[in-house]
């Protein structure tokens, strides 16, 4: 194929990938067959280099498409034109974005642009061929599935039906302890070091990507997103007892290990979307990383290299906060902080984890900013408070696109900080040896967005577009 760069041919030398598609059949159109061959070759190259991106789900039999849980939730809506082609286009753009980072990690910045352009053209050709065929489009819809980040076989051999009982008791103990902390007067909360506030830099957030395709929500401009991210940016009030408590930027360090540079306070942002009834709501996602959660001793199962907190703001159609929620970068400690317009629904029976609400928030004023009080070492959220949006801070942070973590410089080459399974290498925790019966692979390790299982008892994913409707009734105060 004349458009392929020389490195592609070299990378494929000796590789004999298995056929994956009816498009490789001799009966297929020549252009379709050539395009299918290109996708097969590039996939082989990426796999050989070990740089497959695990953030979005590949669709078996359709290598030019990838999906998210949000996009997969519109399968039934995308039944006919124009919704059908818009939905498929969103799946295709999701694949192209992931391939952009994969190619950078194989070839370096810029060198894969020619191949990516051809993949875009070929993806459009294959999409039209499949969407035009009713039978094939039906097969495609059945194939659009995001695999669970739980392992059923682990639950089976771990006697989950029995072992979940003590785990559920442990979850209740954690929630009671957390409620006690949130019930303590803020001036009486223990401070191990010094309280340091991090706030957004004065120049705000710039060049914010809209993230993955927003179908069927209207597209937001980069300027509009920047305004919303800056307006809703939280202040992180961290109890700093050591460098392990300082917010930093991720980078590849010595011995090819991911580290958080505490000299560069950074908040990673991404735009996401959720659903409530027939509405699509914008979510603003803010992520911070710490160098470590230091171990308290040899038997500390929760401590280890790297730690972090994710803070998410769900907005209504008028861009007013409805509900906030948070997890750690491992997917642990999922907490919800609703405003008066998001009322928690009654908890059903059973042991499965439900929405944990340690604090309800008032409506956020136009000139108010949320403050997250964060404990030393564990980096647990201890309180949410409100201050004037121009309140002084000790340190300012800069914004960086969360997707930048999919390709960072690494000793003359580039690599994403996440493995193909979505895990940050080197961030493993001892708890994985004890928590595996709950089905969460590598429990406690830091994860890529879209790969966060957030409940040990039951099943719940942070990017599930049905969470808001499952737990809350939204409306006016």
Beta bridge partners of 240: 194
* pLDDT value of residue 136: 87
pTM for the model stands at: 0.93
4-23: b or e for each residue (b if 16 or more CB lie within 10 Å)? beeebeebbeeeeeeeebeb
* pLDDT value of residue 59: 95
Taking alpha carbons only, the member of 466, 428, 334 closest to residue 69 is 466
* pLDDT value of residue 32: 87
Alpha carbons 125 and 36: distance in angstroms, whole number: 10
On whether the CB atoms of residues 368 and 388 are closer than 8 A, the answer is yes
* pLDDT value of residue 21: 53
* pLDDT value of residue 64: 95
End-to-end CA distance of the chain: 62
Burial class (CB in 10 A: 0-12, 13-18, 19+), 188: exposed
Helix (H) or strand (E) holding 305: strand 304-315
* pLDDT value of residue 112: 81
* pLDDT value of residue 129: 87
Q: What are phi and psi of 142, to 5 degrees?
A: -70, -25
On whether the CB atoms of residues 49 and 105 are closer than 8 A, the answer is yes
Q: Which residues of the chain have pLDDT under 70?
A: 1-22, 24-28, 110, 203-214, 477
Burial class (CB in 10 A: 0-12, 13-18, 19+), 42: buried
* pLDDT value of residue 210: 58
Alpha carbons 396 and 386: distance in angstroms, whole number: 18
* pLDDT value of residue 3: 38
What is the DSSP secondary structure assignment for residue 281, as one 8-state letter? E
Alpha carbons 130 and 344: distance in angstroms, whole number: 43
* pLDDT value of residue 15: 39
């Amino acid at each position: 194929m004349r458009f392929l760069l020389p490195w592609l041919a070299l990378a494929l030398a000796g590789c004999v990938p298995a056929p994956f598609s009816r498009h490789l059949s001799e009966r297929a159109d020549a252009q379709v067959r050539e395009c299918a061959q290109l996708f097969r070759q590039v996939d082989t190259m990426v796999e050989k280099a070990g740089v497959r991106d695990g953030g979005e789900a590949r669709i078996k039999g359709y290598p030019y498409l990838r999906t998210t849980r949000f996009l997969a939730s519109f399968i039934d809506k995308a039944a006919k034109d124009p919704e059908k082609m818009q939905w498929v286009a969103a799946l295709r753009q999701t694949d192209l974005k992931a391939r952009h980072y994969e190619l950078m990690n194989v070839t370096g910045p810029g060198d894969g642009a020619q191949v990516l352009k051809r993949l875009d053209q070929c993806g459009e050709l294959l999409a039209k061929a499949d969407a035009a065929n009713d039978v094939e489009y039906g097969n495609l819809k059945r194939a659009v599935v995001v695999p669970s980040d739980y392992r059923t076989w682990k639950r089976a051999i771990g006697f989950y039906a029995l072992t979940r009982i003590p785990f559920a008791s442990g979850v209740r103990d954690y929630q009671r302890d957390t409620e006690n902390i949130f019930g303590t007067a803020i001036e009486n909360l223990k401070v191990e070091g010094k309280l340091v506030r991090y706030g957004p830099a004065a120049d705000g957030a710039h060049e914010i990507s809209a993230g993955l395709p927003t179908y069927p929500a209207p597209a937001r401009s980069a300027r509009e997103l920047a305004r919303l991210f800056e307006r809703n940016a939280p202040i992180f009030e961290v109890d700093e007892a050591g460098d392990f408590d300082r917010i930093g930027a991720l980078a590849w360090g010595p011995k090819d290990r991911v580290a958080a540079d505490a000299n560069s306070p950074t908040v990673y942002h991404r735009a996401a979307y959720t659903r409530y009834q027939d509405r699509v709501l914008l979510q603003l996602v803010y992520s911070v990383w710490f160098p470590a959660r230091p171990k308290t001793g040899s038997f500390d199962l929760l401590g280890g290299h790297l730690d972090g907190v994710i803070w998410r703001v769900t907005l209504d159609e008028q861009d007013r906060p409805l509900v906030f929620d948070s997890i750690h970068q491992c997917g642990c400690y999922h907490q919800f902080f609703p405003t008066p317009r998001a009322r928690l629904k009654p908890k059903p029976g059973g042991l499965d984890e439900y929405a944990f609400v340690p604090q309800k928030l008032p409506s956020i004023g136009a000139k108010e900013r949320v403050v997250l009080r964060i404990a030393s070492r564990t980096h647990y959220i201890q309180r949410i408070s409100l201050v004037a949006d121009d309140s002084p801070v000790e340190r300012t942070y800069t914004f960086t696109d969360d997707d930048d973590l999919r390709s960072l410089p690494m000793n003359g080459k580039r690599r994403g900080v996440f493995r193909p399974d979505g895990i940050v290498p080197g961030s493993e925790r001892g708890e994985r040896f004890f928590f595996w019966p709950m089905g969460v692979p590598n429990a406690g390790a830091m994860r890529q967005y879209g790969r966060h299982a957030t409940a040990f008892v039951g099943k719940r994913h942070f990017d599930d577009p049905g969470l808001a409707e499952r737990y809350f009734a939204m409306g006016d105060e």
